[in-house]
Amino acid sequence: MTQMNMVQAINDALRFEMKRDDRVVILGEDVGKVGGVFRVTAGLYDEFGDDRVIDTPLSEGGIIGTAIGMALYGLRPVPEIQFSDFIFPAYDQIVSELAKYRYRSGGEFPCPMVIRTPVGGGIRGGHYHSQSPEAQFIHVAGLKVVCPATPADAKGLLLSAMRDPDPVLFFEPKRIYRAAKGEVPDGDYTVPLGKANVVRGGEHVTLVTWGAMLYEALDAANKAAAEGVQVEVIDLRTLWPLDIDTIVASVKKTGRVVVVHEAPRSCGLGGEIVSLINEKAFLHLEAPPKRVCGFDTPFPYTLENEYLPLSHRIVPALLETARF
């Protein structure tokens, strides 16, 4: 076990898999000599050379289109989109091509690749560098969507994603790139896709979240405990396929649920989670489900901490739900 932050854990996973599997290639803007805007790929260019760590032009559609061709011809590309806000020039390549190849070919042409990209606010990046677009990809059949919250999960989930036969969007919460630290297993370590983690046990309210908001959720749960409310915190880790069984099992125990995410409230993943809970555990609910989310506005610059669903917004939702 080694103490790492999330940047180091992701770098460790990339290095390990590139040594293990010579089909793995990295491509994107500034990922080579510079090591990426957040230095996540630092050192890999020097170790593996420019035929496996490829600096590309500033063209997201070109990056993903090239990676799709690589995957179809047997490579395991890991393209990086510098910020998730810039992924939309590649949206057509992702949803119309990448997500469809296995289906349209009857399984003859799988397209395994991992698209890495930083997401979310918390770095004063304003509305062009702070978005959380996960719901727009979860809605597309054929894609898996992952968002780790800890360094150990970042390594384990990324190794699993790079070995998966299907395309995976790997969202990295930039707010905790260096703030989240913890013990990370050395060597080959995987976390299965599609399995949530019950991070904190509790009997009164279930709180479901992912990414950087896990730490706000845990802080809110501690504050709620001081008010006599015990909160069970679930970190989804994989957003799609969703581990609804773990959520339902918790809700059947607590009878109450709050969902927290950074993305805007309307049509966010929180709405789908609440809908599934209503379908599968309605008779166990003792209070209406609540969502604590970003607002239905562009992400603000000066009002960032008002927009984000931080602990001070989560605590009232937990207490109101518990006391309903």
Question: Which residues are catalytic, by number?
Answer: 129
Q: Are strands 53-55 and 24-28 parallel, antiparallel or unpaired?
A: parallel
Q: State whether the Cα torsion 269-158-85-40 is positive or negative.
A: positive
Which CB contacts under 8 angstroms, 24+ apart, belong to 99-105? 99/140, 99/141, 99/142, 99/143, 99/167, 100/142, 101/68, 101/72, 102/142, 102/165, 102/166, 103/141, 103/142
Rg, Å, the chain Cα set: 19
Cα 319 from Cα 117, distance rounded (Å): 35
Q: Are strands 2-5 and 181-184 parallel, antiparallel or unpaired?
A: antiparallel
Cα 86 from Cα 61, distance rounded (Å): 10
Provide the H-helix boundaries in the chain: 6-20, 44-48, 60-72, 91-92, 101-104, 134-138, 151-163, 213-225, 244-254, 269-281, 304-307, 311-322
Amino acid at the residue 133: P
Cα 139 from Cα 104, distance rounded (Å): 18
Residues with Cβ within 8 Å of residue 307, at least 6 apart in sequence: 121, 294, 295, 297, 299, 300
